[in-house]
Structure 1
């Protein structure tokens, strides 16, 4: 789940805290245990709003038994140091010390450009159930009026709007789990066709090597005006960077669209290496200056518990 908080104000932070807390309460195994998590959310979001200014993105990854909460902002990073209970008269440092007592693995990670992400593992476990939790929307990610030319909106703006609104409408009607499945299926299907085009263009038969898989990624993303490049490609994993999202600035208002990249990359990798895991390590969608995507292959994917998992069809 991803939320965008803008503008950064006390009122909007309180509304976001209430929504994240409600999500946790709906899906926690013990709803009465959510109060500590609510304080953690409140402190981290409040700090981002107070010290960073600008947009704040909140991500919650509950693919593991305990949820990982990440708060992204564009403010300066800082060192945690040794957290201890501040002096009684001190007005600073209490929030992070409290977070460190109520949750685990508190960490501050500087982005490669301006900004940071603060992440922590919440002391909750999730019930085994489907999720139906449409996030609130404050911004419209559809094309702005100034994108139109003399004859109206162009094909690119229209198709982008179509994809975004289909995903949003599905999410509103049936929940983000269904929307995510839809986006993943679309990405896998389109990725399969793009792989076939790559094979014809390069005259490749049989399984693609990791280097060929990476080359296929660059070809298909370049065709839709992404700016991906290969950082490394080996037998166990492929690491890519990206300087420009095909969805443009829209993706900062709809971070869930990153799942499209995940499913395209994961589907191609799994078809050629049986199993794949895609890790979205950095995302333009949450304020990072570039994207960084790691694709684990074969045994490395099977033994990795996180990320988006993909398996070749029988």
Structure 2
């Protein structure tokens, strides 16, 4: 689940804190364990709103035993090594991260290449065994902005962009976030397969695509939909790409889940040619990074990596 606080007001942070805490309490194996997690959420959201000076993106992923909370903002970064062993009790500042570091099983802060930072923490609660589907609150209007209209009204691109966002949101509201993610991933994999066939025909390529050919295929298909991807590096077991412009435009900042489309397109093509693939969305314009950075791991390198989105050849 992902949210955008823009503008990042205290009221918006309070509402989101209440929503996240209620979600944790409904699905924790013991509701009594939620208090520490709620305090962590409160501290991180409060610090981001108070000090970021710009939009704040929040992601909650409970796909494993414990939930992972990630907060992206454009404020100054901090070094966890500088946290005191014991906070200054006379000061009300600087105590939030110290408290989080004591309550959370895991905490790390990473500076973005541009402005801002990413704070990732694992919350000290566990999920009950049964699955749950809780659609997140949505305050974002996915429809095209009025200033995107031309002399004859809205064109095809803003309409189709809004259609994709609204279909994903409808699936999420009706069947839960897991269903929406599955839908976006399936669409990406299917579209990616057709684009791969077009690349093979254009380049007269047969057999398995090499890592270099995969990279060229990615650039070709993303350029066709107005992305601005470029190759950072290509090796036998991995491809690293950058991107200066998202095909979804500014809409992606209001709906970061659309990044799964890129992941499934890249991962599906790679898995069909190398058996297995993992896609790591290392940096994303959608959460305030200046550019996207995507790593695609191939074959054995994918098999040995527990993170990212995993794909296998289903043919």
In the aligned structure 1, how far is the partner of 2:84 from the partner of 2:120?
15
2:217 maps to 1:195: no
Superposed, which structure 2 residues align to 1:35-50 within 5 Å?
35-50=35-50
Structure 1: gaps of 5 or more residues: none
How much has 1:273 moved relative to structure 2?
A: 0.7
2:300 maps to 1:299: yes
Superposed, which structure 2 residues align to 1:76-115 within 5 Å?
76-80=76-80, 81-115=82-116
Asked whether the 8 Å contact 2:83–2:98 carries over to 1, the reply is: no
Asked whether the 8 Å contact 2:4–2:56 carries over to 1, the reply is: yes
Asked whether the 8 Å contact 1:63–1:306 carries over to 2, the reply is: no
In the aligned structure 2, how far is the partner of 1:26 from the partner of 1:235?
45
In the aligned structure 2, how far is the partner of 1:214 from the partner of 1:64?
31
How much has 1:89 moved relative to structure 2?
A: 1.4
In the aligned structure 1, how far is the partner of 2:8 from the partner of 2:176?
26
Structure 2: gaps of 5 or more residues: none
Superposed, which structure 2 residues align to 1:163-174 within 5 Å?
163-174=164-175
- Which whole-Å deviations, capped at 9, do the CAs of 1:257-296 have from their partners, x for residues lacking one? 1111111011001100111111111111111111111111
How much has 1:119 moved relative to structure 2?
A: 1.4
TM-score, length-normalised on structure 1? 0.96
Asked whether the 8 Å contact 1:52–1:75 carries over to 2, the reply is: yes
Superposed, which structure 2 residues align to 1:133-212 within 5 Å?
133-212=134-213
The equivalent of 2:26 in structure 1 is 26
Superposed, which structure 2 residues align to 1:210-289 within 5 Å?
210-289=211-290
In the aligned structure 2, how far is the partner of 1:82 from the partner of 1:97?
6
In the aligned structure 2, how far is the partner of 1:126 from the partner of 1:296?
30
TM-score, length-normalised on structure 2? 0.96
In the aligned structure 1, how far is the partner of 2:227 from the partner of 2:131?
33
Aligned residues: 314
What is the alpha-carbon root mean square deviation over aligned residues?
A: 1.4
How much has 1:60 moved relative to structure 2?
A: 1.9
